[in-house]
Copies of this chain bind each other. A is one copy, B any other.
Amino acid sequence: MWKAVGIDAWLAARKTSLEDARGTVTGIIGRVKNEGDAALIDLAKKYCTLEHVAVTDEERESAYDEVDAQVVEALIEAHARIERFHERQRPRDLWFEEMEPGVVLGMKSTGLNRVGLYVPGGRAAYPSSALMCAVPAKVAGVKEICACSPPPIKPLTLVALDIAGVTEIYQAGGAQAVAAMALGTESIRPVQKIVGPGNIYVTLAKMMLREHAEIDFPAGPSEIGIIADSTAHPKVVAADVLAQAEHDPNAACILITTDPTLPAKVGKEIEKMVAEAPRKEIIVEALKNSGYTVVKDIDEAIAASDVVAPEHLSIQVADPLMVVTKVQNAGAIFVGRYSAVACGDYAVGTNHCLPTAGYSKMYSGLDVAHFCKTASVEIIDRDGLEAIGDIVETIAEAEGLYAHSQSVKVRRAL
């Protein structure tokens, strides 16, 4: 099952078509638009009976009773690290600089007012996704942070959302949750932006409702690219392959190596580990989407990696920092033997909401900037206006916009 793959073929297979979901999602959006909360409650019936979609304060608090104290502690510790790192990303609230005498320019950054988080649920709870979505919003200064997760919402998810300081929590999943946050219902007021990972229904609903609420980026099944040379430890490489593969039958891994003997060694370790893995069936499926490619040198490895633009890039080579400086496209870059991707998934501090399927060529992973917007600030005095007045008047008149020119002339004549 561990086989050689072509770079282009691997990437091509990452592109998920959302078309199959379009009919269903269109129907769900229509229902939420017309029926509001009733649609959410009706669509939840498949899983549980909901009285109301909003989670109460009591439900939030009692969730802690159902979660192991050690897990709560771990979530608090992870939250502190994620918050600390994201604080470093926060843009300056307001800065100015004198660009020339009489001309002071700057930027003002403000958090969005109201955002929505989609936290996946269903079969399992993903408290880590709750933290990853909520923390950058909180650090950005977003006042109203509303989260949706599929009913019945998991106590683990509730605890994580509570630790992260989310202001509103609703039991709604899938495309209906996205529709509710984008369009609003009786319980849920519309948000400005919706972030967070989901299945193809969630992703397509986000794409289809962008005229109502902005989104982070399209995200699909998880993936890893590993650049490795002969110094890589086969067991470490294999462990990261398995960790990625266990996410989803559609997850995928690619090993790009300069060492022609490495793939076989990694393959052997994978075989041993798969046999013992609790999520063996999922891993076996995902390994069908996975494989290795042997390249002639590190530069070729970097070039190949930049083509696939992996969500996660692990660098297992003798001089990994050189690769970091050269690589162009990746969601998150894990450097060296001890930097397990799982650390970034949970606790080291960086964000795990990342673009997949080559989208790291054009999108950033979730960060504080996703929840901020900026305004430029222009402060010009009489001297500054004199310095640039002729330039402004000349271009304005060349564009035929005479009142623009006049607005400068009026001031120069004061």
Q: Which residues of A contact B (CB under 8 A)?
A: 67-68, 70-71, 74-75, 77-78, 81, 84-85, 88-89, 94, 97, 99-100, 103, 105, 107-108, 110, 112-113, 124-128, 156, 192-193, 207, 210-211, 214, 218, 233, 235-236, 239-240, 242-243, 245-247, 273, 277-279, 283, 313, 324-325, 327-351, 360-365, 367, 369, 372-382, 384-385, 388, 390-392, 394-396, 398-408, 410-411, 414
Contacts and interface: CB of A to CB of B under 8 A. Distances in A.
Contacts of A100: 81
A218 B372 CA distance: 17
Nearest to A369: B369
A128 to B, nearest CB: 6
Contacts of A399: 124-128, 156
A200 to B, nearest CB: 13
A335 B344 CA distance: 43
Contact of A78 (B277, B351, B361, B395): B395
B375 A407 contact: no
B89 A107 contact: yes
A378 B343 contact: yes
Nearest to A109: B364
Contacts of A347: 388, 391-392, 395
Given A378-B343, A378-B344, A236 B85 contact: no
A408 B362 contact: no
Copies in the complex: 2
A85 B78 CA distance: 38
B407 A342 contact: yes
B380 A376 contact: no
A236 B343 CA distance: 58
B376 A74 contact: no
Contact of A240 (B127, B245, B333, B407): B407
Which of A156, A277, A346 counts the most chain B CB atoms within 10 A?
A346
Given A344-B378, A347-B388, A242 B362 contact: no
19 contacts: A74-B391, A74-B394, A84-B99, A85-B105, A94-B325, A99-B349, A108-B333, A128-B399, A192-B362, A210-B210, A242-B406, A245-B403, A247-B401, A279-B400, A327-B375, A332-B377, A346-B395, A350-B376, A364-B374
A242 B346 contact: no
A348 to B, nearest CB: 6
A385 B192 CA distance: 38
Given A71-B398, A74-B394, A369-B369, A380 B343 contact: yes
A337 to B, nearest CB: 7
A176 to B, nearest CB: 21
Contacts of A341: 407
Nearest to A204: B211
A333 B398 contact: no
A361 to B, nearest CB: 7
B192 A376 contact: no
A388 B74 CA distance: 9
A103 B376 contact: no
Given A99-B84, A365-B374, A378-B339, A396 B324 contact: no
In order of increasing CB-CB distance, the 3 nearest A-B pairs are A350-B376, A74-B394, A239-B407
A71 B369 CA distance: 37
